[in-house]
Amino acid sequence: MSLEPFSPSIQKLINEYATEYDRYRLDEVVVAAIAPVMRRMVLKWDPLEDPALFLSTFRSWRRALKINEEEPPDTQIDMYGSKTTVTRPIQLYVQGFDPVSQTRSNLYFREKSMTPFESLLWDIWLPKVRTSINNDWLPDSPQSAVRLYEVWSSFLPPFIHDNLLDQLILPKIQKAVMDWNARYAKVSLQAIVFPWLPHVGLRFEDVMGDVRRKVKNLLRSWIVDQPIPADLAAWKDIFDLAEWDAMLLKYVVPKLGATLRNDFRVNPRDQKMEFLQRVLAWSNIIRPTIFSQILETEFFPKWLDVLHIWLIQPRVSFEEVAQWYSFWKETFPEDVRSLPGVNRGFTRGLQLMNKAIEFGPDAPTKLAKPDFRGELSEPNSPARARNDEKLARPSARTYEITFRSIVEEYAASHNLLFIPTGKAHERSRMPLFRVSRTADGKKGLLVYILDDAVWAPKGDEINPEAAEFKAISLEDMVSRSS
């Protein structure tokens, strides 16, 4: 039996002379005739290996089986943000002889939600695809299923398209995400999820919830001597900006600050760079203002102390000091060197060198040891003035300005970190943050934000999480955090 559809001339005759009921019944007869043959044809078809093999055949039959003209489908915006078609039930009326009234009347009414051609897809195409996806496809290698979806998605009726996504593809992806373990996985989480993002829209929201939890767990268990988790930067656009910053502040920044403070040493005779390089690897992932603060509070105080010790030596070689200074400036990538905190640190070093040259032989007794952290916290320091000027300038960032973002910016302008604690105040149930000068978040002031105000403990209670809080000004927040 040939599977070629009707010729255009035969189709035209059928359309001209057949009643609507006849056309519908003819579609059913034709589908019943070709279904066994098509079932045998797709028996050996591998949809994942050759997804487009029978697309032209089904497309030809779809055109041929439009003998029964239907009303145009309604179009609406579905919950996933894209247009979809809603097929109306078919209402068929046939002029016939009514034996009761002995007159011709509309005797036949039928409501049907699936056309004969849709039945052909549902009974033959979908079972074959279902078997392949359930038995042969692994979400770790998504390309074959992505190609299958791309080939057929625009051709399929909406309810079959939805069944393919919601019942076959997405459940397997979600299980793969839930089972994914960074320690044992052979592929990255990105490899499982990203190929589907252009196709599934908000349908992926449940999956993305699991993805976000996996990424958070990945960072929670990360330790400094490990490489940055694979493809981490690619997830930045998946998270809300505030959520991304909060996650890094909670799980990564304290670890980077601790390794600079406890493990890294500035030693001109035998400089080990490993710990600093581990920190610098995060420069493109952590927000620049936060990364700048890490270096300003944890690296430069150490660096300036060593520079001071060198400059007060009786036989100091300023040429060697200048070479050492240049070495350190070249160590930092250009985008890191341009950060305000890094620039301030090197500028302070240059000022120290110039002062030592000015003092000459009296440098060992006159050159004061720098207190970089103290200088930054002084209300009238030049560094503070530059920060306040920067805060006053309009921001070029495009994310929504909220009161929390204003508080974070104000804290950053005074060289303070705004770190999530992962806890909530017992009475207000608002999330608690620690405003601290150190990246470990062990010191500083515990606060929460409510009704466009910063709330802090009234005193130095033993259990501040359960203490009575009061609204304070941003200036008080800074002074109590320093």
DSSP annotation string for 245-285 = HHHHHHHTHHHHHHHHHHT----SSS---HHHHHHHTTTTT
The DSSP letter of residue 168 is I
pLDDT in tens, 81-92: 333 333 433 333
pLDDT in tens, 11-39: 454 454 344 444 455 556 666 777 787 78
The DSSP letter of residue 201 is G
Least confident among 120-124, 138-142, 169-173, 376-380: 376-380
pLDDT in tens, 257-287: 999 999 999 999 999 999 999 999 999 999 9
Length of the chain, please? 482
Instruction: List, in order, residues 6 or more apart from 184 with CB less than 8 Å away.
Output: none
Q: Is the pLDDT of residue 76 over 70?
A: no
**What is the C-alpha to C-alpha distance for residues 197 and 206, in angstroms, rounded to an integer?**
13
Q: Quick one: pLDDT at residue 245?
A: 87
Q: Quick one: pLDDT at residue 476?
A: 86
Q: What are phi and psi of 428, to 5 degrees?
A: -85, -20
At residue 125, what is the residue type? W
Q: Quick one: pLDDT at residue 101?
A: 40
Q: Is the pLDDT of residue 395 over 70?
A: no
Q: Is the pLDDT of residue 102 over 60?
A: no
Q: Quick one: pLDDT at residue 19?
A: 46
* DSSP-based three-state secondary structure for 321: helix
Highest mean pLDDT among 22-31, 243-252, 374-383, 396-405: 243-252
Query: Which of the four pLDDT bands, split at 50, 70 and 90, describes residue 373?
Result: confident
Question: For a pLDDT cut of 70, what percent of the chain falls above it?
Answer: 75
Q: Is the pLDDT of residue 143 over 70?
A: yes
Query: Which of the four pLDDT bands, split at 50, 70 and 90, describes residue 295?
Result: very high
Instruction: List, in order, residues 6 or more apart from 120 with CB less than 8 Å away.
Output: 31, 34, 35, 38, 58, 61
CA-based nearest residue to 437, from 473, 479, 407, 481: 481
CB 348, CB 372: distance < 8 Å: yes
CA-based nearest residue to 164, from 200, 192, 130: 130
Q: Quick one: pLDDT at residue 58?
A: 83
CB 149, CB 139: distance < 8 Å: no
Least confident among 109-123, 218-232, 405-419, 424-438: 109-123
Q: Quick one: pLDDT at residue 402?
A: 66
Q: Quick one: pLDDT at residue 66?
A: 58
At residue 56, what is the residue type? S
Q: Quick one: pLDDT at residue 71?
A: 43
This prediction's pTM: 0.63
Q: Quick one: pLDDT at residue 3?
A: 53
Q: Quick one: pLDDT at residue 233?
A: 82
Q: Is the pLDDT of residue 351 over 60?
A: yes
Least confident among 175-179, 227-231, 251-255, 367-371: 227-231
**What is the C-alpha to C-alpha distance for residues 352 and 210, in angstroms, rounded to an integer?**
52
Tokens of 113: 């939600």
Query: Which of the four pLDDT bands, split at 50, 70 and 90, describes residue 390?
Result: very low
> What burial letters (b/e) apply to 71-85, b meaning 16+ CB within 10 Å?
eeeeeeeeeeeeebe
For Cα atoms 236, 238, 244, give the angle at the middle one, nearest 5 degrees: 50
